[in-house]
Amino acid sequence: MSSGKEFSPQRMALLAHMLGDPAQQWFALGLAETVGVRSSTVYDALKAWTVKGWIEFGWEDIDPEVEGRPRRKLYRFSSDGAAMARTALDSHQQTLERAIRGQFQPNRPRLA
């Protein structure tokens, strides 16, 4: 059973965007800007997904002296991370569908 925060609409939008191109690398603020969610949500989600092993991170390959800015932390799906994320999303979607079907069943038993 997933918590409400695990598949909030913002996190689902984020995951859907990332699964659109699983080979790509992202940085947190870029994701926030592209998907249109708050940076705090992105940081929370990326941290949770890193703990789950869906994504892994590395550091941007630049010379900070040359670029004049610090390196960004880049996130990408782990080897089987995209598959695990898709499975979790599928499972969540099935739960939602069951709930919707249950909501519209005309002959469901009533409580007392």
The CB-of-7 to other proteins minimum distance in angstroms stands at 17
Between 76 and 86, whose beta carbon lies closer to other proteins? 76
When binding is defined by CB under 8 A, the residue of 52, 72, 76, 86 that contacts other proteins is 72
Q: How far is the CB of 69 from other proteins (least distance, A)?
A: 4
Secondary structure, 3-state, the chain: CCCCCCCCHHHHHHHHHHHHCCCCCECHHHHHHHHCCCHHHHHHHHHHHHHHCCEEEEECCCCHHHHCCCCCEEEEECCCHHHHHHHHHHHHHHHHHHHHHHHCCCCCCCCC
Q: Is 68 in the site for other proteins (CB under 8 A)?
A: yes
5 lies in the binding site for other proteins (CB under 8 A): no
